[in-house]
Structure 1
């Protein structure tokens, strides 16, 4: 009996020892994540390369926030500068903390995950509750969370916090090499970050690509001790991003959602503007689409120019009223392609229509054509 008790006591002691060792390891791991003074085995140690990559990451993330957050949080669609100001504030605070050797702050991947969760909880949803044509938000409803103005300071604070750990590392690197060299790699990294995001926007790539790019940058900048945490945290963020971007079309300028209508066609929702426009048969369009042709009853327009042709509503009306040729100018190629695919009247398939993907002002400055009707 005594032998059994002795064996049991030894097992209990071993279990306690293993628990203590595991707890110490977990504590040490968390400390290495949250305390910047903890030695880490970095994948990239060259300070010049790290300055370049951090500058790249900060500018890329800044543009990502400016583009991504307002596309889901309606209030920030009207206050884009909030995100920009928060970015500047976070970068400045992070640079100030670089003077301190010991500094506790949540790591960047964790802050990005928290930001993604807040955006998901406060995203705007348009609900179609009427068979009537909706235009610029008439008849829309939205959830209680989207009506909460507190989301503005919350997201402002989170964006600011996201930049602090990045810019702290950035500021510490500035003390390791000559200032002129540091600024050179800083500027090059910033320009490359802007160029990279511009290319992504040009090809209308979705947010998943943006966040994958950001994830790769942060993984390269991480260490052997933190790479698993960084990868797993960003994986959760990527899952949220995928959930949010479902059924959305991304143009070089904004997010587009199509909401089917009972009578056929779709409501086109651009960056949470509500019912931005209706892509429906021309008979159901608002009266002002036909007003120009009713005012000049009996006239036969030969050549019309439509600035901001969008998904083709004005083009459809012009064709129905007998316009001989239509030059449809639209800056956003994605909206025009959606009109090609989903407009019930199929105006862009008519041989009388010439499509120009260009800014309206630029087109007017360079076009030499003559028109007897201009709609904008």
Structure 2
């Protein structure tokens, strides 16, 4: 307890003075960023529930807290004045008293805050994404996380400052102590046995519902597990595209490409990439009896010579992509040279790798001419 109090006193005074609900907002923002960006934690299912709350509720709640720092009351009929008698009505008594009382409320109640928090979050996050789409950072995980976190923390700071400017009795506060006391009384001190049985049934139902949803979110069904390797190039604007691959190279001169790897193996995976340079010949067989057409032919690619240009290793997290610039520098000359990138998950590479040793590969056909030097 002493150690905890010492750590608490180390926090800046504004953080220690945050209201409970705004402190929870800050904690959730920090926890979500850690779960989404930390190298090891981001691979766990923990980021799913935190991310849903972070995107669908927290930004809107912080924004509503900044707009309405004061407490509000539910618009119930208790605000209506006593029902006028017939004589009072005949004399022109004000029949709009309840409407005037409700319309004069300065704050909103808890239920309205929750509803507006969901609605505003669904509106705010896409708007932030739209703005990011026109920036150099684009719509990616880190820019989205930083932008939504910044908006939420700024809104929480404004909300805390506006609440401090109000008298204590007018500030909005989450009545969690009252909720706890009421729940404890209902569960542990029921009026009748029937109420006790219903309370137990309600608790069990809630636990089963939360457990089922949590299990479905935290342990999603296993889908197809696979990896992928591909080649990209940069266009004039610096964007990566799967087009405009080089077709003519010069021996000894390098050509820049981008090698990409996608990991959908269900776990963090180590990869080995082997780059082969092949001098191939396409042989046309006379007939293909299995096709049923006596005039059909089958082309067969025969590797005349093969050299290993390069190999490198990398580790990619589950459901993540890895891009790396690669300088291709062929050594053999001739037409229809085939450059092959072989991907080996797990790092098990044969002594003389070929396309038959892995199901993941990508290749490029090029004509390589001799250098003029």
Alignment TM-score, normalising by the size of structure 1? 0.26
- Larger % of strand: which? 2
- Larger % of helix: which? 1
Alignment TM-score, normalising by the size of structure 2? 0.27
Flag the structure with more relative contact order, 1 or 2, with Cα contacts below 8 A and sequence separation at least 6: 1
